[in-house]
Amino acid sequence: MLVVGFVSAGLMSLNQAVGVIMGANIGTCVTALPAAIGKSTEAKQTSAIHLLFNLIGIVIWLPVINLIAFAATSISPSHLDLDGIERLAAETPRQIANANTMFNIANTLIMLPFSALFVAAVKKLVPHHTAKKEHKKIQLKYIKKEYLATPDIALEQAHLEIGRLGRRVTNMVNRLPPLADQPKDENDKKLLGKHYARLKK
C-alpha cells in the first residue's frame, strides 16, 4: 500500500495516513456505483447504502483523526530499540492496519442501530419503479446511449438486454400453443390477437 510506504519513509504522518484511509473508503464506492448501472433496483440501493455508510462515517470521524491515530499507536507494538526510518518501517504497517480496522468496526457499531433508517433513506433516494401493465411498444430497458462509448459497461448492458428480450420471447412462444388450440374465453382471444400482432412487428 502506498500509504504504508510514505509513512515508513517519513514522507507522511500517521494522522495524514488515517485521512487517506478514510478517503480510500470513499474510493471503494467509485467501483460499486458504476457496477450497479443497468442492474436491479436492489443492486442500486445496495451501492447507495455503501456510499452513505462511508460518507457518514467520515463526517463522524474526520474531526477526531488525532484520536484514531493515538489509539492505533497505543495498541500497536513499539520498537524502542530502533530509531528513525528503521523504527517507522517496523511500526507503521501495524499502526495503519489497526487504524483502518478500528475505523470500520467503530463505524459499523455506531450505525448498526440505525440500519432501518438507512434502508428507509435509500428507498427514498432510489425508489422502485412500478412497471406499467400495458406497453405500446417494446423499449430497451438496460441499454443507455450515454454508456455506449464505454465498452465494458455497454457489453454488460447488451448482455442484460438480450437476456430480457429472450425471456420475453420465450414466454410469448410458450403461451401461444394452448391459446391457439383452445381459447377459453374472449380474454384469451384478445391475448392471442395481441401476441400475433407483436410477432408481425
**CA angle at 82 for the pair 81 and 83, rounded to the nearest 5°:** 130
- The alpha-helical segments, DSSP class H, found in the chain are 2-8, 14-35, 41-61, 65-75, 84-111, 115-125, 151-181, 186-200
What is the C-alpha separation between 86 and 97, in angstroms, rounded? 18
What is the C-alpha separation between 111 and 93, in angstroms, rounded? 27
Tens of pLDDT, residues 115-131: 888 888 888 888 876 54
Tens of pLDDT, residues 62-110: 888 888 888 888 888 877 777 777 777 777 888 888 888 888 888 889 8
Tens of pLDDT, residues 160-198: 889 888 888 888 778 777 666 666 667 777 776 776 677
Residue 136 pLDDT grade (very low, low, confident, very high; cuts 50, 70, 90): low
- Looking at residue 132, the DSSP 8-state letter turns out to be P
What pLDDT score was predicted for residue 128?
A: 74
**CA angle at 26 for the pair 36 and 24, rounded to the nearest 5°:** 125
What is the C-alpha separation between 178 and 85, in angstroms, rounded? 80
